Structure 1
Amino acid sequence: MATMTDAPLFQYTLRLADTALILGHRLSEWVGHSPVIEEDLAFGNMGLDLIGQARALYAYAGEVEGKGRDEDALAYLRDAGDYRNLLLVEQPNGDFANTMVRQFLYAAFAHPYFEALAASKDETLAAIAAKAAKEMAYHVRHAAEWTIRLGDGTDESHARAQDALEELWPYTGEIFEVDPIERALIDIGVAVDPAPLRALWNKTMDDVLGEATLVRPRDGYMQSGGRAGRHSEHLGHILSELQFLQRAYPGATW
């Protein structure tokens, strides 16, 4: 029987799944192109973590929706305007510093967020989050170490890391936004209120950026809209590649 929370729960779960899928795909683009073989393996492993999170979340979203859409249908058969991922994760990889800074900005939030979501009153979300929290602990550690290494490295690596930070910072405000869909679930203990996590995220930023000798950008105008389906042009290019096989051969199975 459907409940009053089904529609918000579907949207909330879809947002988490879309963010994981798009960032996982972005990291997969580095495989075979990383500066060292260890990072080829690291990007591949982190990408698989995120794709695994997306699969579990899509499967649950399809169950909650109750319209017969499975994880493949939700991942491969929706248009860009139907995606609800954070704008941060769809931004281009750029150079190695840009990718690492993007990963650091997201993982520093996702780790404590999933830790908190592991206490959700929704048992399925709690189980998915408990696993994801362990994975994101590695992601934030790996990305932080590289951010420090690049920022406190050569003049060139420092400049590239600082440029990446300046470019990506305007997308971090959306991480902490809460709309009525999420508020309804926060109030009943299903979703996580990101507001209490901001202090921890800020501390992580200050600690790591300080050690990296990088200057934290000032908060100003922040980009948003991803969770409402308003995306940059980059998402369409991602989907043209990610969805090609399913679109070219509808219903194909392995």
Structure 2
Amino acid sequence: MTTPVTTAALALGDDALVLSHRLGEWAGHAPVLEEEVALANIALDLLGQARVLLSLVGDEDELAYLREEREFRNLQLVEQPNGDFAHTVVRQLFFSVHQHLLHRRLATGGGPFAPLAAKAVKEVAYHRDHAERWTLRLGDGTEESHRRMRRACAALWRFTAEPFRPVEGVEVDWEALEAEWLEAVTGTLVRATLTVPEGPRSLDWAAGAGRQGIHTEPFGRMLAEMQHLHRSHPGASW
């Protein structure tokens, strides 16, 4: 039975699950060893959040590994490919600022997600700080790192409106959340000597699409990889 709580848990849980997998793809490929550990830790934090949220909906393994693409409710932002390291940093900045601001509200709202949010907000504060520090380091770094950060911002900007479309079961002031996000992200980009992209923050055909089960092309390939082992050996156990 679908309720507002399960609808919200599925959306937020899918966000965390999908981004966790994307960050996990950096294993063995991060630019430095320290970043290998940092990205793995962020991925594990997100995976833990996803497990708690998906458990509110049903069997977490079935939800992660046996659903079809159109049944996932994650934001299109989190499913975007890693690209180069600058692209990953910008994706993380856009999402972690949103998640941090959202969890701060949920933690004090007294609703069904308050206990999870109260714990997760501490983790997400680190995710946000990590992304902000790398944004400053790369944006105000070499000419090449600056160029790549600008390119990443321009590519991902169109996905930044969807996180603020209301989700049934999440009782927050979405307009205020979006305004605070825009102020925070703009401030970080300016400090990093980057400019806020001029393009629209959503496309008409894509606005809210991830929440409706409509995803971008890279998501299907990512999902096939994520689900391959479980589907190849159904019922297997360690």
| Shorter-chain TM-score tier | over 0.9
2:49 to 43, 46, 53: 53
Cα deviation for residue 219 of structure 1 reads: 5.0
Conserved in 2, the CA contact under 8 Å of 1:23 and 1:50?
A: yes
Q: 2:90: which partner in 1?
A: 101
Q: Distance in 2 between matches of 1:221 and 1:149?
A: 25
Cα deviation for residue 235 of structure 1 reads: 1.1
2:194 to 201, 214, 219: 214
Cα deviation for residue 73 of structure 1 reads: 0.7
Cα deviation for residue 221 of structure 1 reads: 5.4
Q: Tell me the TM-score normalized by structure 2.
A: 0.94
Q: Secondary structure at the match of 1:118?
A: helix
Sequence identity, in percent? Answer: 48
Which 4+ runs in 1 deviate beyond 6 A?
none
Q: 1:136: which partner in 2?
A: 124
1:138 partner amino acid: Y
Q: Distance in 1 between matches of 2:201 and 2:163?
A: 14
Query: Unpaired runs of 5+ in structure 2?
Result: none
Residues 1:172 and 2:160 aligned together:
yes
Residues 1:203 and 2:183 aligned together:
yes
Q: 2:151: which partner in 1?
A: 163
2:220 partner amino acid: G
Q: How does 1:1-254 map to 2 (within 5 A)?
A: 6-62=2-58, 70-123=59-112, 125-178=113-166, 182=168, 185-186=169-170, 191-218=171-198, 220=200, 222=202, 223-224=206-207, 225-254=209-238
Conserved in 2, the CA contact under 8 Å of 1:113 and 1:194?
A: no
Aligned length: 234
Q: CA offsets per residue over residues 35-69 of structure 1, 9 Å max, x none? A: 1000000000000000000000011122xxxxxxx
1:216 partner amino acid: V
Query: Unpaired runs of 5+ in structure 1?
Result: 63-69
Cα deviation for residue 253 of structure 1 reads: 2.1
2:162 partner amino acid: E
Q: Tell me the TM-score normalized by structure 1.
A: 0.88
Question: In angstroms, what is the RMSD of aligned CA positions?
Answer: 1.4
